[in-house]
Amino acid sequence: MITERSDNNDLDFTTKAISLLAKYGASVIELQKTASRLMLRFLKDGEYLVMSGAFCINYGVRFNHKTVMVPLTNSELNVSKLQELTGVVEKVADGECSSVEGLIELSIVDAKKPLYGKLLTVFGWAMSSFGVAIIFGSNWQGAIVATVISVVAAMINLNNIDKLKVLGNPLAAFFAVIIAVGLTDVFGNYSVPLVIVCGLITLMPGFSLTQGISEIAHSHIVSGSARLMSALITLLMLAVGVFIGYKVVGIYSSIQPGTFSVTPGSWEVIVIATAIVMISLGIMFNVSCKRFGAIVVVGILATLTMIYGGKVGGCYLGAGAATFVLIILGNGYARWRKCGAAIIKVPCIMVLVPGSVGFNGVISMLSTNMESGMETGLMMMMTAVSLVVGGLLADGIFPQHPRQKLT
């Protein structure tokens, strides 16, 4: 329990650990587990509350209660820093080092520069769009145009101008239409709607949508609902940017807003394209390059399971089976290599999440095709639910060892 002399350091460590984990992409479920362990270590008689935007602690003896509330923000998804922060938390929670030493280590991790510079990150954005375009069945011309769109989107969203960040998604969607339609005269025939989606694939909120449903399934209703609403707003902002772009290009082109269909190629092409996407996502999420091999293998197996499992049992079964395979392999790798399972799970789940499906639905609704839009939106939600169910089953059958030491 916290004493009078130690309460500041112990409390500071707890709040800073939760704040940094949230900053670098931890879900409310992970924050809840971390808070529970630290409260058992320092504040056995205290109470706490973790939400998507705040962390609150209430502790102390009768008539001398203290309450601390810390705002939580999510600025980036950095898998490498998440693992290091989790390792520091485990050492402090197990009594291997003091909260003062833990605070120093947290500051060191937070101050580290990203593993990859901005140029490599832009390259990751570009190659992920190229690979996804190939997986979705685009020709090489369309894949190149999607790559150009992704570079422009990265330059807009990775800048340090606050006002531009607020409008980053609709601006990127607007320029995606301008580029996709404008380059039809240069590169010939390709599916403009498919190219737009592949170029903006990194901005699609499929991961947030799936994470929100997962949080609701774990009884975090408020944070899960907030994450779901944030994902829907992101889809709407992207769709509005696309429609404004179509209005502008309508001055000189007859191409109209439309939806796309996915027609995957041969398994050899899918394997190569998925490998490109996995390495690109590893760069974007700051995964150490020594983990790239595992990410590629697990990503390929999950993608093939989703595509061919969907052909056999439908898209929902394919999504659930792919997530099941992904989580089992991710947890197995985490146990074997004594690392965080997020290193495998986060990049690999990105190719399974249904953000592009939801974007299709929003475009249909804005095109006054309400019936098709509602149907596609329902498909997006059901796909996300299938992903969550598959993940929960896998974690229940073969979880990552909760007490293993991360290296």
pLDDT at 48: 85
pLDDT at 59: 75
386 vs 376: CA distance, rounded Å: 15
pLDDT tens sequence across 164-206: 667 888 999 999 999 998 888 787 788 888 888 889 988 888 7
Q: Is the pLDDT of residue 104 over 90?
A: yes
Q: What integer best gives the mean pLDDT of the chain?
A: 83
Those residues whose C-beta lies under 8 Å from the C-beta of residue 107, and which sit 6 or more positions away, are: none
Q: Is the pLDDT of residue 263 over 80?
A: no
pLDDT at 258: 63
Q: Is the pLDDT of residue 370 over 80?
A: no
pLDDT tens sequence across 52-89: 788 888 876 665 677 888 888 887 788 889 989 988 99
119 by Cβ neighbours in 10 Å (0-12 / 13-18 / 19+) ranks as exposed
Average pLDDT (29-42) is 87
Cβ contact 53:31 at 8 Å: no
pLDDT at 63: 59
pLDDT at 1: 39
CA quadruple 311, 312, 313, 317: dihedral sign = negative
CA dist 326 to 273, 321, 399, Å? 18, 9, 12
pLDDT tens sequence across 228-259: 888 888 888 888 898 888 888 877 776 766 66
pLDDT at 314: 80
Average pLDDT (355-368) is 60
Q: Is the pLDDT of residue 278 over 90?
A: yes
pLDDT at 277: 93
pLDDT band per the 50, 70, 90 thresholds, residue 2: very low
Sketch the domain layout of the chain as residue ranges. 7-111, 118-397
Percent of residues, the chain, with pLDDT higher than 90: 23
Give me the residues paired with residue 49 across strands: 56
Q: Is the pLDDT of residue 365 over 80?
A: no
236 vs 246: CA distance, rounded Å: 15
pTM here is 0.85
pLDDT at 189: 82
pLDDT at 110: 92
Q: Is the pLDDT of residue 328 over 60?
A: yes
Average pLDDT (105-121) is 91
Element (H, E) at 282: helix 267-284
Average pLDDT (82-99) is 89
